[in-house]
Amino acid sequence: MSASPSSIPVPKTPVRVRIAPSPTGDPHVGTAYIALFNLAFARSHGGQFVLRIEDTDQKRSSSESEAAILKSLSWCGLQWDEGPDVGGPYGPYRQSERSDLYIAHCEQLIASARAYRCFCSAERLTEVRAAQRAAGVDWRYDGHCRNHDPAASKARADTGETHVIRLAMPTEGTTAVPDALRGAVIYDNHRVDDQILLKSDGLPTYHLANVVDDHLMEITHVIRAEEWINSTPKHMELYDAFGWEPPVFIHMPLLRNADKSKISKRKNPVSLDYYQRSGILPEAFVNFLSLLGYSMPDEREVFTFAEFVADLDLSRISLGGPVFDRVKLEHINGLYLRAMTPAQLANRAAAWLEEDGRQEAIAELVQERVPTLASWNQQIDMFHRGTVSWGEDARHLLVGCGSRKKKSVRLDAKRSRLMFEDLIAQLEALKPWQRDGIEAALRASVTKAGALIGDGFMAVRVAISGSTASPGLFESIETLGRAVTLVRLRAAVDWLRGKGHLETEIAGLEKRLAALRTSQERLIEAQSAGGRFDPREN
RNA sequence: GGCCCCAUCGUCUAGUCAGGUCCAGGACAUCGGCCUUUCACGCCGACGACGCGGGUUCAAAUCCCGCUGGGGUCACCA
């Protein structure tokens, strides 16, 4: 190791780090970003990288999402040493399979009076919260159940009365959170809430599960996003209550949208599927990610993961939140592509199409529309790109406005936008991602918007395919996949909102208009010049 | 709003910890040019930043304080 991390403490025990995604949606770029730094740190110290699934939210977690996350991290080449699929000596690696552990640990905390049972109803909590808000003070649990006699509380619990278990946070003093990049961050204990550790469904919250698991799995460094830093005093308190040595905390800066807010699906494609589908090479993607908030000692920008590991020094992380710039990503990707031999490029392109796994589904969709094999590429194009450009067909995004039907209801930009937003909300929640559900969502949204079914479908068709002509709409959306579909629908919303896309569109059209005028003038000049050319004059 | 974090070109960043070699370097984007049958690539060039105000010092992008700005967080979600 040439550069041993200068300011990151490394204990004597083997370095063990983890990525702990919650399987509640599409695989997120932020997950890959944090996984990358964890893996690299583990590798640079010859340690292990653990994948742990934090599926303690029964309502939102799905095995579908878990599978997608595993698949996407693998695509990135961020392979874990231990995890739910590969096993390992510290399993199980799925928190939903570790319930007994959390309950047992909670009992230990209750026994030592570092936690207590709370029987407060959601209604009471809401009232207290409202009162505190009215009084202009911070919301914090008011300690109603904290001083109940533990034996009495236990008796109530034994009768089956629903309750949660809360952390008995000290009401005085301060807690120092030692962050390896920021130094000690000091919190006043009286401002820290009596966090719920065990929910009434018997499953732990993140705070408890993450501390218990990190300890039992012997995690030495917690490298996670900065959004967690404010809950770390609770975690410190837990480590103290258990009598455990806390790991080294390293809070990474948050990835940002162009407006500097925390990266979000509203403003950026955040699904890893999207980047895979739109033809980003995983090695280029990971290279780009490693440039965010980090720089190599010699300012190299293009390097392999192995080189990244070899020169890794987490103390070089800069804490300002980096904007996730897709333009730069594509630049890096282009560099990789151009560095290949033609044979390699051809192979990668073919492999990309192949790994995609939708060949047959797409063939089925475009079959009727390919008079010759030569039209194949053109027909499948919409399935293999991230975004589409609507060009002049954009007017169809205004529902009904491109229609020639007499009965058409023309929705203005706002109402069209609301239809798309409604559709997006439905599709985000749609499980499973299949034709019939998609059709139902589509029909519901268009009907709700009060437009003709056909007009609404046309608007969606243009939004997702970029054209008024496309294969079957529901099947196309199913095949397109959730990630890409949602990015395109959100782009339509942006366009309708008149921000970004609309301006871009206008600028583009103005440029095109100017170009057309110029070429028209030149044509006229050329024609008149030709007109003057009369061979008979010679 | 309370608390916490952060602050160099539009963007990613080097430089900040060990103050002088920085009237601030590189990359992306943008603009101009070259190359070229076109486009792209490539090459050359231009534009462009230490948020503001105090202080410490012979000397501050670098250290200290204040302000401003941005972000995060305040759930029986993670």
> Which pLDDT score is estimated for A501?
41
What is the Cα–Cα distance from A303 to A288, expressed in whole angstroms?
Answer: 10
CB neighbours (10 Å) of residue A460?
A: 29
For A481-491, how does the pLDDT look when each residue is reduced to its tens digit (9 = 90+)?
999 999 999 99
Q: Is residue A45 part of a domain?
A: no
Distance of CA A328 to the CA centre of its chain: 19
> Where among A331, A348, A372 does a domain terminate?
A372
Our count of domains for chain A comes to 3
Confidence of residue A64 (pLDDT cuts 50, 70, 90): very high
Q: Name A403's Cβ contacts closer than 8 Å, sequence gap at least 6.
A: A410, A452, A454, A455, A458
Q: Is residue A488 part of a domain?
A: yes
A229 Cβ within 7 A of any nucleic strand B atom: yes
> Which pLDDT score is estimated for A4?
37
**Complete edge-to-edge strand list for the sheet that includes strand A183-188:** A183-188, A174-179, A248-252, A221-225
Mark residues 299-358 of chain A whose C-beta is closer than 7 A to nucleic acid strand B: 299, 301, 316, 318-323, 325, 327-328, 331, 334-335, 338
Confidence of residue A12 (pLDDT cuts 50, 70, 90): low
Judge whether A473 and A436 are in contact, CB under 8 Å: no
Among A30-39, A111-120, A356-365, A494-503, the range scoring the smallest mean pLDDT is: A494-503
Query: Checking phi first, is residue A9 left (phi over 0); if not, alpha (psi -120 to 50) or beta?
Result: beta
> Which pLDDT score is estimated for A517?
53
One-letter amino acid for residue A185 of the chain? V
Q: Which residues of A belong to the active site?
A: 265
What is the Cα–Cα distance from A312 to A45, expressed in whole angstroms?
Answer: 10
CB neighbours (10 Å) of residue A109?
A: 21
Q: Does A486 lie in the same domain as A400?
A: yes
Query: Using omega within 30 degrees of 0 as the cis cutoff, is the peptide bond preceding A14 cis?
Result: no
Confidence of residue A168 (pLDDT cuts 50, 70, 90): very high
Provide the positions of strand B that have an atom within 7 A of a protein CB: 1-8, 10-17, 25-29, 41-42, 70-78
Q: Is residue A26 part of a domain?
A: no
* Whether ipTM exceeds 0.90: yes
Please report, for the domain that includes residue A285, its CATH number: 1.10.1160.10
Mean pLDDT, rounded, for A60-88: 96
Please report, for the domain that includes residue A402, its CATH number: 1.10.10.350
Among A49-63, A212-226, A429-443, A503-517, the range scoring the smallest mean pLDDT is: A503-517
Q: Where are the alpha helices (DSSP H) in A76-181?
A: 99-111, 122-134, 150-158
Q: Does A382 lie in the same domain as A368?
A: no
Q: Does A441 lie in the same domain as A360?
A: no
Q: Does A478 lie in the same domain as A387?
A: yes
> Which pLDDT score is estimated for A130?
87
> Which pLDDT score is estimated for A391?
80
Nearest protein residue to the C1' atom of B70, measured from CA: A260
> Which pLDDT score is estimated for A406?
81
Q: Does A509 lie in the same domain as A414?
A: no
What is the Cα–Cα distance from A35 to A452, expressed in whole angstroms?
Answer: 47
Q: Is the pLDDT of residue A98 over 50?
A: yes
What is the Cα–Cα distance from A20 to A71, expressed in whole angstroms?
Answer: 15
Q: Does A457 lie in the same domain as A367?
A: no
Q: Does A525 lie in the same domain as A483?
A: no
Among A60-74, A147-161, A163-177, the range scoring the smallest mean pLDDT is: A147-161
Q: Name A426's Cβ contacts closer than 8 Å, sequence gap at least 6.
A: A441, A444, A445
Q: Is residue A94 part of a domain?
A: no
Judge whether A28 and A272 are in contact, CB under 8 Å: yes
Q: Is residue A323 part of a domain?
A: yes
Confidence of residue A502 (pLDDT cuts 50, 70, 90): very low
- Measure, in angstroms, how far nucleotide B7 C1' is from residue A294 CA: 16
Q: Does A486 lie in the same domain as A388?
A: yes
Q: Is residue A98 part of a domain?
A: no
pLDDT cut 90: percent of chain A above it? 75
Q: Does A487 lie in the same domain as A394?
A: yes
Helix (H, G, I), strand (E, B) or coil at A118: strand
Q: Is the pLDDT of residue A357 over 70?
A: yes
- Helix (H), strand (E) at residue A166: strand A164-167
Checking each nucleotide's C1' against the CA of A323, the nearest proves to be: B11
Q: Does A420 lie in the same domain as A322?
A: no
What is the Cα–Cα distance from A1 to A14, expressed in whole angstroms?
Answer: 16
Q: Does A363 lie in the same domain as A384?
A: no
Confidence of residue A5 (pLDDT cuts 50, 70, 90): very low
What is the Cα–Cα distance from A161 to A164, expressed in whole angstroms?
Answer: 10
> Which pLDDT score is estimated for A378?
87
What is the Cα–Cα distance from A352 to A346, expressed in whole angstroms?
Answer: 10
What is the Cα–Cα distance from A472 to A383, expressed in whole angstroms?
Answer: 13
- Measure, in angstroms, how far nucleotide B6 C1' is from residue A61 CA: 33
> Which pLDDT score is estimated for A7?
65
CB neighbours (10 Å) of residue A517?
A: 10
What is the Cα–Cα distance from A453 to A472, expressed in whole angstroms?
Answer: 14
Mark residues 28-57 of chain A whose C-beta is closer than 7 A to nucleic acid strand B: 54, 56-57
Mean pLDDT, rounded, for A236-264: 96
Q: Is residue A422 part of a domain?
A: yes
Q: Does A440 lie in the same domain as A524?
A: no
Range of the structural domain that residue A399 is part of: 377-499
> Where among A344, A372, A400 does a domain terminate?
A372
Q: Is the pLDDT of residue A267 over 50?
A: yes
> Where among A350, A372, A394 does a domain terminate?
A372
For A389-439, how does the pLDDT look when each residue is reduced to its tens digit (9 = 90+)?
888 788 889 998 877 888 888 888 889 999 999 999 999 989 889 999 999
C-alpha separations of A469 from A261, A364, A441, A442 in Å: 37, 16, 21, 18
- Using only C-alpha atoms, what is the Rg of chain A? 28
- Chain-wide mean pLDDT for chain A? 89
Q: Is residue A441 part of a domain?
A: yes
Q: Is the pLDDT of residue A508 over 80?
A: no
CA torsion sign, A427 to A433 to A438 to A441? Answer: negative
Confidence of residue A360 (pLDDT cuts 50, 70, 90): very high
pLDDT cut 70: percent of chain A above it? 91
